[in-house]
A and B are shown apart, each in its own frame.
Chain A
Amino acid sequence: MNALSLLHSVERFARFVLRWVPTLAGITMAALALCLGPAAGQDLLPPAPYAYRQLDDPKQEAKAQALMETLRCLKCQGQSIADSDASMAGDMRHQVRTRIAAGESPEAIRAWMIERYGDYVSYKPELSTTTWPLFALPLLLIALAALILGRRLGGRGK
């Protein structure tokens, strides 16, 4: 075995190591994350100063509040993000307030939330192929009510 072939071996080994570095690093990180898990997760969340801080402009704050009351806190039991102490609700409140402050319209923010979290996040059902009965049935009920009242009360009583 000469020096050159030794050098080759070293180089091949180095290449092998280099090729796997990202994967190994990934595995190590994943293992670390698993061990440190939830505790570290909390601290890694970006800060959300507007979770518990109102906007200075009362008009904007009212707009934000109205929107927050119609967005579901995904980690809670049937509460809106305006009614929850969950950290995720706080994050979402921060999103809503900063976006309102930046001049976005409430419906645009709602659309952004729906795109991220699905229809489930919005308490305001949009008219779509899945939700049309929600809007059709009340109309049907009105028609039915008119019909019943018409038939029941239309005829002169004796």
Chain B
Amino acid sequence: MIAELGLAALWLATALAGLQLLGGVLGQRESGADLAALVRPAAVMQALLCAFAFGTLVLLFARTDLSVALVAQNSHSEKPLIFKIAGPWGNHEGSMLLWITVMSLAGGLIALVERRLPEKTLLATLAAQAFVGLGFYAFLLVSSNPFERLDPAPAQGLGLNPLLQDIGLAMHPPTLYCGYVGLSVAFSFAVGALLTRQVTPDFARVIRPWVLGAWIFLTLGITAGSYWAYYELGWGGWWFWDPTENASLMPWLAATALLHSVSVLAARDALRTWTILLGVVAFSMSMVGTFLVRSGVVTSVHAFAVDPQRGTFILVLLTIYIGGALVLFATRAGTIAEGERFTVMSREGALVINNVALSALLGIVLLGTLYPLLTEAFGVKVSVGPPYFNPVGAVFLMPMLAVLAVGPLLRWRRDSFARIRLPVLAAFAVGLAVLLGMWLIAGMALLPLLGMAMAAVVGIGSVLPLLGRSLRRLPLATLGMVVAHFGVAVALFGMAADSAFSIEKLVAARQGDTTEVGPWRVTLASVEPVAGPNWTALEARLSASYRGGAPSEIKPQARSFWAPPQQTSESALLTRWNGQLYTVIGGEADGDRWQLRLWWKPFVTWIWYGGALIALGGLLALIGRLRTDLKRRTVRARVAARRMEAAA
């Protein structure tokens, strides 16, 4: 019964999306005013129904209702409750339902709160949102129904991939999806603005909080995913340039560019068409990512089911939406008047360089990700990995970071370098000193060396805008920018330090053996069998002491799950401010010895602290912007009220 209710809600939501599209299109004319009045309520109701459908799926998983095919294939009654609740999106159908739920919630939220746009632009935006939504509803209902029944119900479910049975599953997919699908709002706004030709600074102020929100979630999702891969896969890698990772990086790069160009549009009424194009591209990248991950063209732990029919379906949706939006852009872009002009030595100038570099990076990642698929179609298999992405990406990243350190110091419109020469030269001098020092002392490889020097430049440059300003009167948005840019420096430093100074020890240890890895001494005390709710494991009891200090006990495990049968290694970590000790127990070596893998990873955690800082900066900026908007709204309302009084 619950499953049927969920399915019915989903069909109803689909019908409402249809109504929303119809009302949004016909409401553009005077004759469609009745229909236009239905658009907002339809969007809100659709969101509620979709959320209800998603709720029923969560309930079905929580209760392990095995008469539902999806639950039987992906869950197990002995799975811990937290993974039952997080289970709905650990599979293809459920994750697509999450996708459409987030999308309809975003649409409902726009309908509820957005009052600043011209009504016609808003109608066109909600129509576009419904149009995109309909495709995904169709996909869900036709080829990926999450509520399908299984008769007779099996006695037990097949279980969830053990790699996914981790707290990361509760964090990474929902945040990432909020980001992916949140970008659909920017897409719909862009399409709406193209349809009504209304690209103004006001438009930019309206979409900025939405873009910021999506971008914050995207940043958090990628950071969480990277840390999850780092501790779960058991080899200490945190980024693999794997197609599925690139699929999340590409929308982030586009959204980051969009975020900055929206600022230019809002402040200076420049970069109009470019901002619109980025709005289209950002969500297009989300969809390309979904296609890559969900269609099975790349194999990965993310590709739950390989089904050519689904791949074709998503590809068709992709062609319609991306192709349609680009055609619309091509026909309308010429009719949008070009915005204000400016000189290179200005805030806008720096932001344009940032946008060009980010777009080029996006191009590189897209090329490197899709190229192997392209050659495979012609029967040639090639791989594109870190040796390609790292150096080629750096060519664009390094100049961008240099501009990042300088840009925020520049004034809008026109500025002179002489005004900011001193602090900028100081920052770059420190960077140069780091470069030379690290090269002479540590003999680092070129890329980590450049990364470390640039981290110093960006770290100093990012806080320079605070110079000579009262912290009290600093706008929250500016503080957000400083925090986010500083986060970039922190993350970059972590990446460079980890790749240059990591120490790895692989040993076959007997009980009582001590191994030195970096500043740590690790002793194998014993190896014990342990059991969990749906696994058994061999657990190594290690005592680790940092620079001869008091030892701490850590317990890495080699787990064997029985549903589905699979082995995973659960790494155990010890965190200090300056890095992490990473330990893994492998198999039995010969007789009485055990394989241990130990790493000392200096400053590796700074990568994710940096990611968190970037997201925090975004959050501060978002709060700051919303507060200003609210203030402006109250002032406007007061002015209007006074005018009414005066008139009376």
Chain B 145-176 residues near chain A, CB threshold 8 A: none
Q: Of all chain A residues, which has the CB nearest B340?
A: A157
Q: Which of A70, A78, A85 has a CB less than 8 Å from the CB of B298?
A: A78
Q: Which residues of B contact A145 (CB under 8 A)?
A: 356-357, 360, 396
Check B504–A65 contact: CB distance below 8 A. Answer: yes
Check B380–A85 contact: CB distance below 8 A. Answer: no
Given A120-B381, A149-B353, A149-B356, the answer on whether A70 and B387 have CB atoms closer than 8 Å is: yes
- What is the minimal beta-carbon distance from A49 to any residue of chain B, in angstroms? 10
Contact with B along A55-90 (1 / 0, CB 8 A): 000000000010001101000011110111100000
Q: Which residues of B contact A53 (CB under 8 A)?
A: 506, 508
Report which B residues bind A (CB closer than 8 A). Answer: 233-235, 237, 240-244, 298-301, 340-344, 346, 349, 352-353, 356-357, 360, 363-364, 367-368, 371, 375, 378, 380-388, 392, 395-396, 413-414, 504-506, 508, 567, 569, 586, 589, 595, 597
- What is the minimal beta-carbon distance from A79 to any residue of chain B, in angstroms? 6
Q: Which residues of A contact B364 (CB under 8 A)?
A: 137-138, 141
Check A156–B343 contact: CB distance below 8 A. Answer: yes
Q: Which residues of B contact A142 (CB under 8 A)?
A: 360, 395
Report which A residues bind B (CB closer than 8 A). Answer: 52-54, 65, 69-70, 72, 77-80, 82-85, 118-125, 130-131, 133-134, 137-138, 141-142, 144-145, 148-149, 152-158
Check B380–A70 contact: CB distance below 8 A. Answer: no
CA distance A130 to B383 in the complex (A): 12
CA distance A72 to B242 in the complex (A): 11
Most buried by B among A70, A121, A138, A156: A138
Given A120-B381, A130-B375, the answer on whether A83 and B235 have CB atoms closer than 8 Å is: yes
Question: Can you give 6 A-B contacts (C-beta < 8 A)?
Answer: A52-B595, A79-B240, A79-B242, A83-B237, A118-B381, A138-B360
Known contacts A77-B299, A83-B235, A142-B360; can you find 13 more A-B pairs with CB under 8 A?
A: A54-B506, A70-B386, A72-B383, A77-B301, A80-B237, A118-B381, A120-B383, A122-B383, A123-B385, A131-B371, A134-B371, A149-B344, A153-B344
Closest 3 CB pairs of A and B: A123-B385, A78-B242, A124-B387
Check A83–B385 contact: CB distance below 8 A. Answer: no
Q: Which of B235, B240, B508, B569 has a CB less than 8 Å from the CB of A78?
A: B240
Q: Which residues of A contact B386 (CB under 8 A)?
A: 69-70, 80, 123
Given A134-B388, A138-B392, A153-B349, the answer on whether A119 and B380 have CB atoms closer than 8 Å is: yes
Q: Which of B352, B368, B378 has a CB less than 8 Å from the CB of A153?
A: B352
Q: Of all chain A residues, which has the CB nearest B387?
A: A124
Check A130–B382 contact: CB distance below 8 A. Answer: yes
CA distance A149 to B353 in the complex (A): 7
Check A123–B383 contact: CB distance below 8 A. Answer: yes
CA distance A149 to B301 in the complex (A): 41
Check A85–B506 contact: CB distance below 8 A. Answer: no
Q: Which residues of B contact A79 (CB under 8 A)?
A: 233, 235, 237, 240, 242
Q: Of all chain A residues, which has the CB nearest B414?
A: A157
Check B388–A78 contact: CB distance below 8 A. Answer: no
Q: Which residues of A contact B413 (CB under 8 A)?
A: 157
CA distance A142 to B360 in the complex (A): 8
- What is the minimal beta-carbon distance from B600 to any residue of chain A, in angstroms? 14
Q: Of all chain A residues, which has the CB nearest B389?
A: A123
Q: Which of A54, A84, A131, A157 has a CB less than 8 Å from the CB of B235?
A: A84
- What is the minimal beta-carbon distance from A127 to any residue of chain B, in angstroms? 11
- What is the minimal beta-carbon distance from A41 to any residue of chain B, in angstroms? 18
CA distance A141 to B244 in the complex (A): 24
Check B233–A125 contact: CB distance below 8 A. Answer: no
Q: Of all chain A residues, which has the CB nearest B376?
A: A120
CA distance A155 to B116 in the complex (A): 35
Q: Which residues of A contact B357 (CB under 8 A)?
A: 145
Q: Which residues of A contact B385 (CB under 8 A)?
A: 70, 72, 80, 123-124
Check B384–A125 contact: CB distance below 8 A. Answer: yes
Check B234–A85 contact: CB distance below 8 A. Answer: yes
Given A78-B244, A85-B569, the answer on whether A123 and B384 have CB atoms closer than 8 Å is: yes
- What is the minimal beta-carbon distance from B338 to any residue of chain A, in angstroms? 11
CA distance A80 to B392 in the complex (A): 19
Q: Which residues of A contact B595 (CB under 8 A)?
A: 52
Check A133–B371 contact: CB distance below 8 A. Answer: yes
Q: Of all chain A residues, which has the CB nearest B271?
A: A152
Check A119–B352 contact: CB distance below 8 A. Answer: no
- What is the minimal beta-carbon distance from A47 to any residue of chain B, in angstroms? 11
Check A125–B505 contact: CB distance below 8 A. Answer: no
CA distance A131 to B240 in the complex (A): 21
Q: Which residues of A contact B344 (CB under 8 A)?
A: 149, 153-154
Given A54-B505, A70-B387, A83-B240, the answer on whether A120 and B382 have CB atoms closer than 8 Å is: yes
Q: Which of B360, B380, B505, B597 has a CB less than 8 Å from the CB of A130?
A: B380
Q: Which residues of A contact B353 (CB under 8 A)?
A: 149
CA distance A133 to B299 in the complex (A): 24
Given A153-B349, A158-B341, the answer on whether A137 and B363 have CB atoms closer than 8 Å is: yes
Check B360–A141 contact: CB distance below 8 A. Answer: yes
Q: Which of A72, A78, A82, A157 has a CB less than 8 Å from the CB of B243?
A: A78
CA distance A23 to B244 in the complex (A): 48
Q: Of all chain B residues, which has the CB nearest A53?
A: B506
CA distance A124 to B383 in the complex (A): 7
Given A52-B508, A137-B367, A157-B413, the answer on whether A123 and B237 have CB atoms closer than 8 Å is: no
Check B586–A148 contact: CB distance below 8 A. Answer: no
Q: Which residues of B contact A131 (CB under 8 A)?
A: 371, 375, 382
CA distance A141 to B556 in the complex (A): 46
Q: Which residues of A contact B371 (CB under 8 A)?
A: 131, 133-134
Most buried by A among B244, B298, B383, B395: B383
Most buried by B among A118, A122, A144, A145: A145
Check A77–B234 contact: CB distance below 8 A. Answer: no
- What is the minimal beta-carbon distance from B259 to any residue of chain A, in angstroms? 19
Q: Of all chain B residues, which has the CB nearest A121?
A: B383
- What is the minimal beta-carbon distance from A101 to any residue of chain B, in angstroms? 15
CA distance A89 to B102 in the complex (A): 40
Given A130-B380, A131-B382, A155-B341, the answer on whether A77 and B300 have CB atoms closer than 8 Å is: yes
CA distance A133 to B371 in the complex (A): 9
Q: Which residues of A contact B298 (CB under 8 A)?
A: 78
Q: Which of A78, A125, A153 has a CB less than 8 Å from the CB of B343?
A: A153
- What is the minimal beta-carbon distance from A120 to any residue of chain B, in angstroms? 4
CA distance A145 to B359 in the complex (A): 9
Check B240–A157 contact: CB distance below 8 A. Answer: no
CA distance A80 to B233 in the complex (A): 12
CA distance A66 to B595 in the complex (A): 22
CA distance A149 to B343 in the complex (A): 11
Q: Of all chain A residues, which has the CB nearest B346?
A: A157
Check A54–B383 contact: CB distance below 8 A. Answer: no
Check B586–A125 contact: CB distance below 8 A. Answer: no
CA distance A131 to B371 in the complex (A): 8
Given A125-B384, A134-B384, the answer on whether A152 and B586 have CB atoms closer than 8 Å is: no
